[in-house]
Chains A and B, each alone.
Chain A
Amino acid sequence: MIETINEKKVITTPVTDEDIRSLKAGDVFYLTGDVLTGRDEVHKKTLREAGGFPADLRGGVIYHAGPIVREKEDGSFEMVSIGPTTSMRMEDFEPDFIKKTGVKIIVGKGGMGDKTAEACKELCVIHCAAPAGCAVIGAASVKEISGVYWPELGMPEAVWHLKVREFGPLIVTIDSEGCNYYKEKKREYTARRVEMLSESETK
């Protein structure tokens, strides 16, 4: 479901294909609801093991993140700090991960490559970037940690189940038409780099 709250575009999970299609590369939005973390090891383990991802991700959100979590005396968890990690490291696994889990929104740092962009187009999925290094703002939007799966992978690698409110700003980097914002930008930067270097040669 998408609504506008205080001029912010807010999406609430579970996410539908219609929600996904309404978001275009470069758009900014916020998320409310359930988010699950998963990075390198989680992607590998999900694809390797028959049981797959340890929670239901259909219509859900996977967040490439490795948080700092503090276990409180009563055994519950407190989110100290959370922010995105480089999504590109998951590029080789992401298409199969999407197919196996039915995830709809991937959140991480930076953009992703052609393989993910194609899978996004085929399966109506988006990737978006969260501002990195802004982990306190990230933690403030986590209202509750409702559980942890695969804790044996260690704190940064485990799957943390988060309840978030207005988590963002998230910037759409790959939309469901496969449009890749970072790839376009990278082309621009490379062009300017080449231009800048050829200028200095003629000097």
Chain B
Amino acid sequence: MSSNQKIVNAVAEYLDHISKVLPDDVVKALTRLRAEEKNKAALSVYDTMFRNMELAEELGKPLCQDTGIVQFKVVCGQDHPAIGEIGESLKEAVIKATKEAPLRPNCIETFDEINTGDNTGTGAPTIWWDIEPGRSDLEIYVYLAGGGCSLPGIAKVFMPGQGYEVIAPFAAERVTEMGLNACPPLFVGVGIGNSIETAAMNSKLALMRDIDSSNDNPNVAALEKELEEKLNYIGIGPQGLGGSSSVMGVNIVNTVRHPATLAVAVSFGCWCHRRGVISFDKDLNYSSKTHTKFAK
């Protein structure tokens, strides 16, 4: 089999899997929130979610009908032999998984307003690249970006004089105004940077990190905890119907700011947070550390 075909098959199989089975960290977070839940209606929503997870796996069907727009972040060792073929292979994998899983066709060409039918199109699937010198392995982060959870995403450039205190109200307002429809309990990714797109990208990278992980900087890690507690106090509960919590977790990814700017972005993941990492060695053997049920 050509290396192109190997990547296409593996990624298509992985897309199929993550549309049907949630990553280990998300299952763990939901299990914890369900155990801590006191509200009766909220508990019945959790029951429905867990039953849905069981059925999805059993029947081999996508957990949620909105299988999103496929987004990849490719971290590729400079010496990986297949480096030149990855982009095309990912596109083919999306087309294959759309047919086989199946995934819902969600790509609308803007202004033409035409659904492309196969989840590819201008700029789709999204592919972000990192080339790593001195490495020969390949890691592909995969995210199914649903509409409901992409909708509350927000970014703004503040003046640094306003301080990091702007983050909590900025995120909290978004949770109460828009978060109810994003299928809570939410996973909150906060990005900090110098300009709008660095902050926005960082907020998406925050959602790629494990829910249980903490920022390396202890001050930022403390802010992650503080934000989580504050948002949980609001108690929007599963589906926004009210409950003991609001979020599965808060992750912050930060890069430098300009002396005159503090850019903040918030991205949201829904309870059905379908993201994972598939790792290949240079011979294209693969496995996934986020999805232990993805066997190979």
Binding site for B on A (CB under 8 A): 26, 28, 65-68, 70, 80-83, 85-86, 88, 109-111, 129, 131-140, 154-157, 169, 171, 182, 185-186, 188-190, 192-193, 196-197, 200
Contacts and interface: CB of A to CB of B under 8 A. Distances in A.
A139 B64 CA distance: 10
Contacts of A66: 65-66, 104
A51 B233 CA distance: 50
Interface string B222-242: 000000001001111001111
Contacts of A85: 66, 147-148
B180 interface: yes
Given A80-B62, A197-B172, 11 more contacts: A28-B41, A81-B62, A110-B181, A131-B48, A133-B270, A134-B51, A136-B55, A154-B105, A156-B104, A169-B44, A196-B233
A112 to B, nearest CB: 11
Interface residue SS majority, chain A: mixed
Interface in B84-108: 102-106
A24 B45 CA distance: 19
A28 B45 CA distance: 11
Interface in B10-57: 41, 44-45, 48-49, 51-52, 55-56
Interface of B: 41, 44-45, 48-49, 51-52, 55-56, 59, 61-67, 102-106, 115, 117, 147-148, 151, 168-169, 172-173, 175-176, 180-181, 183, 230, 233-236, 239-242, 270-272
A65 B65 contact: yes
A83 B65 contact: yes
Contacts of B51: 134, 137
Contacts of A133: 49, 52, 63-64, 183, 270-272
A19 B65 CA distance: 30
B180 A200 contact: no
A85 B106 CA distance: 13
Contacts of B271: 133
A81 B63 CA distance: 8
Contacts of A70: 102
B66 A171 contact: no
17 contacts: A66-B66, A80-B65, A86-B151, A110-B181, A110-B240, A131-B45, A131-B48, A136-B59, A154-B117, A171-B41, A185-B180, A185-B236, A186-B176, A189-B235, A193-B175, A193-B176, A196-B233
Contacts of B62: 68, 80-81, 135-136
A134 B180 CA distance: 16
Contacts, number: 140
A127 to B, nearest CB: 13
A139 B62 CA distance: 10
Contacts of A137: 48, 51-52, 55
A188 to B, nearest CB: 7
B168 A197 contact: yes
Contacts of A131: 45, 48-49, 52, 239
Contacts of B234: 189, 192-193, 196
Nearest to A154: B115
B102 A192 contact: no
A160 to B, nearest CB: 11
Contact of A185 (B67, B172, B240): B240
Nearest to B272: A133
A196 B271 CA distance: 24
A129 B235 CA distance: 18
B57 to A, nearest CB: 9
Contacts of A171: 41, 241
Contact of A193 (B49, B56, B173): B173
Contacts of B169: 197
Nearest to B238: A131
A88 B147 CA distance: 13
A134 B67 contact: no
Nearest to A188: B242
A192 B175 CA distance: 12
B30 to A, nearest CB: 11
A79 to B, nearest CB: 9
Contacts of A129: 239, 241
A197 to B, nearest CB: 5
A128 to B, nearest CB: 12
A138 B66 CA distance: 13
B146 to A, nearest CB: 8
